[in-house]
Amino acid sequence: MSTSSSNEFIVPIQFISIDTDGKIKSSDQKILNLEKGAPIKDAHPFFESVISMFESRATHLKLDCVNMLDCTFDVEVITHKDNSGVIILRDRSDFYKRIQKVAQQRNQSLILNELLELKNDVLKEKEAFKTKFIKNFSEELRSPLTLISAFSSLLLKGDLDLEQTKLVEALKEQSDSIRKLLDDIIELSKLKKGDSKLAEEVFSFKDLLSSIYMNYNAKVSLTNNTFEMNVSKDVPEFLQGDERRIAQVIKNLIENALIFNDGKHIKFEVTENHRRAGKTSLRFQVHHKGTVPKGLGDKYDLEDLEKVNPEGLNFSIVRELVELLDGTLKFNEVDTNHTQQIVNLKVAYPLHEVKLPPKKKSTVEQYKFSEKVKVLIADQNTTTQLTALKVLVSTGNFDTEVYTDPRELLEAVEKREFDLILMSSSISQIDSIELISIIKQFANNSNKKIPIIALTVHTSKESMAAYKAAGFKDVIKKPYTDDELLNTIYKRLKIKKFL
């Protein structure tokens, strides 16, 4: 062992001999410089307490970690019968400094862990608050949106003049925009929490693009702009993946262009980069006049968008969706007045011939019943009461009764006969899942088998599954249109009974 490493274990020791009067008889002077014959208590006040030990005839005493004269000592006191004795000082300053350093590091580590846990708790509370706020915000908006969506759709089917039609169309368009915004907020919340999963289904990419073109060509024309879509011939007709997510990416890119467009022309292009191992790499490009967003330079990637913090939910939705789909996103500022939004996605495509079943009609069937359907509406929200009531009455096919009190509702299903029940997610603070089980107990034999449909603001998959498990024949999410309500009712009724 080297000399330097050996010295680390050498502890300086000083022996001090004390006479019966507490004066220094001798000292080897290795640590403290003491004067022979001087009272030991003059060297430091600590030694005054040591002299008292001599007087109490304590024979042997050890004191650890004694701080004096900028050093830390272990002190040993040995007394003789004649009250003289020996004081042994061991300078353990380096040892105690190391101990203190280790303890300090440990304390700092504990404090850091506490801070991290506290920060994590704060983030959890913040996320929980945000989730709860979004949930409550969503639920509060869904009821008035239901009325606006359903009533504007009903009015457009009526006998309106041109000016009235334009006003109602504008109302419906704004209602649809708010509905989309609401869905986007919920969607973004799910994406950030990692609650969103991708579907893997074969779909017609050609039909999807055609639908997007029709919708945006009409929408853009209302703003005196023009919309152009170019799809390369080598783009596959069918894809296998999440149709809804891919549609969201495209729509939000176009919405970005609509918000920030300074010119009169928006061009959307779809091209294929390459195909490999059953996947196609598709490029979506939106060209328009204006910078998206203001301040973006050339080729900003996903992480750069966080720094720029562009305004609008459309940017956030696109960014999160592209990450979810394992794609890339860039914004190219072509010049001071033109922008390209570019998304590259790898999507699987079917290697065999595809024949998709025909899509269901979104329009409602027109029926004229010979016998009216007796419907019980259980809802305490006056807005959604009125919505369902007006939609059903407008067909001439329904007799409706509205109940807001669970006791009156149970009495009605016990004593009278109905053909259908529309039930809100809660009535007088009684959850509909709990209420449906009580209804099954109280209902007469005729009403035990009638379809019960939930009208709900709770739109999560878990909520949908809970409604179905509780015995609801179907679930209608708010906001809904008149066609969505009627289609669901007709689907669950035995139509032939009423024709």
- Reference 245, options 344, 324, 328, 358; nearest CA is 324
Cα angle at 262 between 261 and 266, to 5 degrees?
45
The predicted pLDDT at position 272 comes to: 92
Question: H/E element holding 475?
Answer: strand 474-477
Q: Which residues pair with 279 in a beta bridge?
A: 276, 348
Q: How many CA atoms within 13 Å lie on the side-chain side of 310?
A: 25
- Reference 314, options 185, 142, 460; nearest CA is 185
Tokens matching residue 196:
């969103």
The predicted pLDDT at position 308 comes to: 43
The predicted pLDDT at position 194 comes to: 64
Q: What is the CA radius of gyration of the chain?
A: 41
Helix (H, G, I), strand (E, B) or coil at 242: coil
Q: How far apart are CA 46 and CA 72, in angstroms?
A: 12
- Count the residues in the chain: 499
Q: How far apart are CA 488 and CA 344, in angstroms?
A: 38
In the chain, what are the domain boundaries?
12-91, 98-191, 201-348, 373-497
In the block, tokens 């929200």 appear at: 381
pTM comes to 0.56
Q: For residue 479, say if its preceding peptide bond is cis, omega within 30 degrees of 0.
A: yes
Count of beta carbons in the 10 Å neighbourhood of residue 196: 16
The predicted pLDDT at position 200 comes to: 84
Q: Confirm if 83 and 51 have CB atoms less than 8 A apart.
A: no
Count of beta carbons in the 10 Å neighbourhood of residue 461: 9
Count of beta carbons in the 10 Å neighbourhood of residue 151: 21
Q: Hey, CA dihedral for 130, 132, 134, 137, is it positive or negative?
A: negative
The predicted pLDDT at position 271 comes to: 93
Q: For residue 406, say if its preceding peptide bond is cis, omega within 30 degrees of 0.
A: no
Q: How far apart are CA 365 and CA 373, in angstroms?
A: 16
In the block, tokens 């783009």 appear at: 235
- Specify the amino acid at residue 205: F
Main-chain dihedrals φ then ψ at residue 206, nearest 5 degrees: -65, -45
Structural domain 373-497, CATH architecture: 3-Layer(aba) Sandwich (3.40)
Q: How far apart are CA 314 and CA 336, in angstroms?
A: 22
Question: H/E element holding 51?
Answer: helix 46-55
Q: How far apart are CA 141 and CA 181, in angstroms?
A: 11
In order of 22, 28, 57, 69, 93, the CA distances from 31 in angstroms are 19, 8, 27, 11, 12
Q: What's the distance, CA 177 to chain centroid? A: 22
Question: H/E element holding 398?
Answer: strand 398-403
Question: H/E element holding 412?
Answer: helix 406-415
The predicted pLDDT at position 56 comes to: 62
Count of beta carbons in the 10 Å neighbourhood of residue 298: 9
Question: H/E element holding 269?
Answer: strand 265-276
pLDDT profile of the chain (499 residues), mean per 10: 48 86 85 87 83 68 84 86 83 85 79 74 67 68 80 81 79 76 70 70 90 82 80 91 87 80 80 89 85 48 46 68 84 73 89 74 74 88 84 88 87 88 82 85 84 84 85 87 88 82
Main-chain dihedrals φ then ψ at residue 61, nearest 5 degrees: -145, 140
The predicted pLDDT at position 57 comes to: 62
In the block, tokens 């709900």 appear at: 456
CATH number of 201-348: 3.30.565.10
Domain 12-91, CATH homologous superfamily name and number: PAS domain (3.30.450.20)
The predicted pLDDT at position 281 comes to: 92
Q: How far apart are CA 422 and CA 384, in angstroms?
A: 11
* Fold that domain 98-191 belongs to in CATH: Helix Hairpins (1.10.287)
Tokens matching residue 22:
């507490």
Q: What's the distance, CA 416 to chain centroid? A: 46
